[in-house]
Amino acid sequence: MRKLAKIMLGAASAFALTAGAATAQEDGWCSDQTIRVFSGGPAGGAFNSIIDRGALQAAVDTGANVEIVYSDWDFDKMVAQFREAISQRPDGIAMMGHPGDDALMPLAAEAAEAGIPVMYMNVDVPEIRARFGSGYVGATLYNQGRALGEETLRLAGDRIGPGDKAVVMSRWESENRAQRELGLVDALEEAGIEVIRLQEAEGASADQMLQLPVLTSTLLSNPEVKLIGYPGGPWLSAAPVFMDAIGKEPGEILGVGFDLGQGVMAAFEAGHVLVTSDQQPYQQGYLPVLSLCQQLVYKLGPLNVDTGAGFVTVDNYQDVVALAEEGVR
């Protein structure tokens, strides 16, 4: 049975929507609407808990009834839970796009036929959005990855260059999900760096230690690797453990990747991370709930928001430590 955390919250504040003159709305302006939000990972997960906080704050601000679904980063589970959600007829759904256009298209059609608006988050599904006019809140993944590669090369200077080796990890079979790692690979390869594309081990999205044997084997077979590209915040958080397992001191292998969190801050502090690209998961939780409420109550069109690809580096990470501790970065 899936894990389902149901939160029924009254509104604590009001939104002012403009239609001519701006006027404050009554508290609970979306209180008649139930929104099911797909958190993506496990309950309490380092990354998706930030999404949860954004969704829950949107529930407070709008009065919406928000139901959070946890999927352990299991794409098949996401599809099954999406199907179940449609059958249970919530007023709106905020859905992770990780399973991809092909897997989600039939269910997107069912949701449209049932009159359930769907917002997608974190991973884009451009074919579905083009067909059904759905909104998306998240980074433009390929561009985010490519920008990370370019920033990595700038920051690394002469520590990595043409002829050197790097490892980039991802779920390469998932075309939609792997876009940002593909962008990173392209930027590195265009700079003359040989990139080893390492497949995530089964279940490692939820438990990164499952990746340790294959990563250790790869690095022992390729001792000249100078950089590792990690596919997310929990992975960057595990970098000190990975490096300790193969006897690498901080800075011997440059660590770069995506997302923030307290564990990533600790990895920066330990000297194992050079730069990470932040996609603002708090916004990815907050804005889909807000947009669905606007669609349902005020008949507005869906939001499409690029949550960006800002960089947190070894030089500025201390500026966001407090925000990471609060669970909003």
Q: Do the beta carbons of residue 100 and residue 178 sit within 8 Å?
A: no
Q: What is the average per-residue pLDDT within 186-192?
A: 98
Burial 243-259 (b: 16+ CB within 10 A, else e): beebebebeebbbbbbb
Residues of the chain with CATH 3.40.50.2300: 3-139+281-298, 141-278+315-321
Task: Look up the CATH architecture of domain 3-139+281-298.
Answer: 3-Layer(aba) Sandwich (3.40)
Q: DSSP code of 139?
A: -
> Average pLDDT of the chain?
90
Alpha-carbon dihedral of residues 38, 68, 293, 16, nearest 10 degrees?
Answer: -120
Residue 243 has pLDDT above 60, yes or no: yes
- pLDDT band for position 26 (cuts 50, 70, 90): low
pLDDT of 306 > 60? The answer is yes
Q: Say if residues 277 and 258 touch (Cβ distance below 8 Å).
A: yes
Residue 78's pLDDT band (cuts 50, 70, 90): very high
Tell how strand 310-313 and strand 275-278 pair up. Answer: antiparallel
CATH fit for domain 141-278+315-321, picks 3.40.50.300, 3.20.20.370, 3.40.50.2300, 3.50.50.60: 3.40.50.2300
Q: Which residue has the tokens 């392209």?
A: 186
The arithmetic mean of pLDDT across residues 57-74, rounded, is 97
Burial per residue of 128-155, b for 16 or more beta-carbon CB atoms within 10 angstroms, e otherwise: bbeebebbbbbbbbbebbbbbbbbbbeb
118-155 pLDDT, tens digit each: 999 999 999 999 999 999 999 999 999 999 999 999 99
Contact between 282 and 53 (Cβ < 8 Å): yes
Per-residue pLDDT for 183 more than 90? yes
Give every CB contact of residue 115 below 8 A, 6+ residues apart in sequence: none
